[in-house]
Amino acid sequence: MFSRVLQRVCRQSYVNNQNVQYVLPVCRGCIASRFSSSEVADGSKDSATSPAFNHGSESLVLEREVACPPHLQKPQAWLESLETRESKKLAIVDLHPDVFGTFPRLDILHRNIEWQKVYKIIDVRKEKTRAECSGGGRKPWRQKGTGRARHGSIRSPIWLKGGKAHPPRGGRTYWYVLPAPIRAWGLRIAMSIKHAQDNLCIVDSLDIPSSDPQYLEDIAKERYWGESVLFVDDKPLEEMSENFMDAINKIKTYNIISTEGLNCYSLLKHETIVMTLDAVNFLELRLMFFTKQYGSPDLRQDLPILRSQLKMDPHRGRSYSSKE
């Protein structure tokens, strides 16, 4: 049963779980059709470690340190650019196998999405108790002798039009906080699924030459991104490029999010995720942190304190002294 689910969700690579020799995340038969504007020669499908590109003397693999156990295969992705309409592949990037190639635990993903849907609900329904219904203060008939059942009030719960025994009482919250490691795991799973399904695009930066929304739509058409695109960058929204924000604001299905706001629901809702390399660097550090942190709660509270009070962020290379 699970194997059927897995085949629907991700490529064959997951069934044998990271021991399979795969380098590029795409379905091999589709390379040429998927990236029609790229320069991949047909014969290079199997030798993905040394593809035939006309890139001259530049090295193709971006040197990027990925601290992962040596037995795991690192998934790889293209580093692209948004500066030209045609798809331009700058380099191949190694990714962390536990962030972009983790086992797709759909139950964890379900927990995340249920939490996101449910925790904001405030149920304001209110119904009357027997005390709040009008009337019902007097005993309807005497206790004995009438032949009828004994009652104390016409508004008790067993009566028609009576009050409810345990009614909803106004503000009921469904609020709860899913543990941070489970939320981080959910993000890793969502990103792994997106990468396996060829819906993840890594770019060097989100700078575009013009603020025309048609430019972004042309790019999406060229690169087969689909209807909805989520752009992810590591900066806060105020610092993002104005050209880009102007273009995005005019397209309903293209959205931008900072890594601070990244969540499983948005990752699944949008068809393609376009992520900057800065965001990838940060997410790898921050999401893997939760797999390595101590278990005791008193040590786990240090990270939020460091970030909020001391403005130290160990995953963005920001220490207190360097903030000056």
Partner 1 sequence: MALFARTLSNAVSRYVLPKYDAILSSQLQAIQTRSLPIVWSSTTWHQEFYNSKTDLVDESEERTKYLESKEDFKYVERLIPSLEVPEPPKHDSYPTPSGWSPPKGSPEGLPYHVRRTRYHSHPVSIQQKHGGNQIWTIVKNVDGDIWTFGNKLLEHLEEVKGAEVGMTINEYAKRVFYKGVFKDDVIKWLENEGF
Residues that bind partner 1 (CB under 8 A): 2, 16-19, 69, 71-72, 103, 105, 289, 291-294, 299, 302-303, 306, 314, 319-321, 324
Instruction: Quickly tell me which residue has 């290379």 as its tokens.
Output: 317
Distance of CA 55 to the CA centre of its chain: 34
| CB of 21 or CB of 84, closer to partner 1 | 21
CB of 101 to partner 1, least distance (A): 11
* Cβ count within 10 A of residue 229: 24
| CB of 148 or CB of 292, closer to partner 1 | 292
Residues 6+ apart with CB under 8 A from 207: 82, 83, 241, 243, 244
- For the chain, report the end-to-end CA distance as a whole number of angstroms: 56
| CB of 166 or CB of 292, closer to partner 1 | 292
| CB of 1 or CB of 149, closer to partner 1 | 1
* Burial class of residue 48 in the structure, from the number of CB atoms within 10 Å of its CB (0-12 exposed, 13-18 middle, 19+ buried): middle
* Cβ count within 10 A of residue 261: 11
| CB of 214 or CB of 319, closer to partner 1 | 319
Q: How far apart (Å, rounded) are the C-alpha atoms in residues 203 and 2?
A: 34
CA dihedral 35, 13, 67, 99 (to 10 degrees): 80
Q: How far apart (Å, rounded) are the C-alpha atoms in residues 188 and 101?
A: 8
| CB of 72 or CB of 240, closer to partner 1 | 72
